[in-house]
Amino acid sequence: MDLSKQYYNQTDAKQFETEALLTNSVLLAALALYSLNVLPLFALVLIVSVCITRWMICIHELFHITKGKKLRPFVRLLLIPFTPLNIGYDEYQSTHMGHHRYNAGHEDPEAYHIRKSHIISLLISMTYPEQSFFRYLKHKDLSLEQWYHVSIRLFFFLALLSLFQQGFVVFWLILRTFYGLNIWVFFHALHTKNGDYGTFAVSLPSVIKKIYLFLYGKHTLEATLHHNVHHQWPRMAYWHLEKNQAMIAAPTSNPIASNS
Higher pLDDT, 258 or 39: 39
Interval 142-161: pLDDT, tens: 999 999 999 999 999 999 99
Query: Residue 117 — left, alpha, or beta (φ > 0 → left; ψ -120 to 50 → alpha)?
Result: beta
| Residues whose CB falls within 8 Å of the CB of residue 20, separated by 6 or more in sequence, listed in order | 55, 58, 59, 62, 75
Q: For the range 27-35, what are the long-range contacts, defined as Cβ-Cβ under 8 Å and sequence gap of 24 or more?
A: 27/51, 27/52, 27/55, 27/80, 27/175, 30/171, 31/160, 31/164, 31/167, 31/168, 31/171, 32/164, 34/167, 34/170, 34/171, 35/164, 35/165, 35/166, 35/167, 35/168, 35/171
pTM, rounded to two decimals: 0.93
Per-domain residue ranges for the chain? 3-259
| Residue 255 scores a pLDDT above 70 | no
Cβ-Cβ contacts under 8 Å for 179 (sequence gap 6 or more) = 52, 56, 80, 81, 128, 129
Confidence of residue 247 (pLDDT cuts 50, 70, 90): confident
**Pairs from 200-205 (Cβ < 8 Å, separation ≥ 24):** 200/227, 200/228, 200/251, 201/225, 201/226, 201/227, 201/228, 201/229, 201/245, 201/248, 202/226, 202/227
List 236's β-bridge partners, or say none.
Answer: 7
Question: What's the confidence (pLDDT) of residue 259?
Answer: 44
Kindly report, residue by residue over 58-75, the tens digit of the pLDDT.
Answer: 999 999 999 999 999 999
pLDDT exceeds cutoff 70 at 49: yes
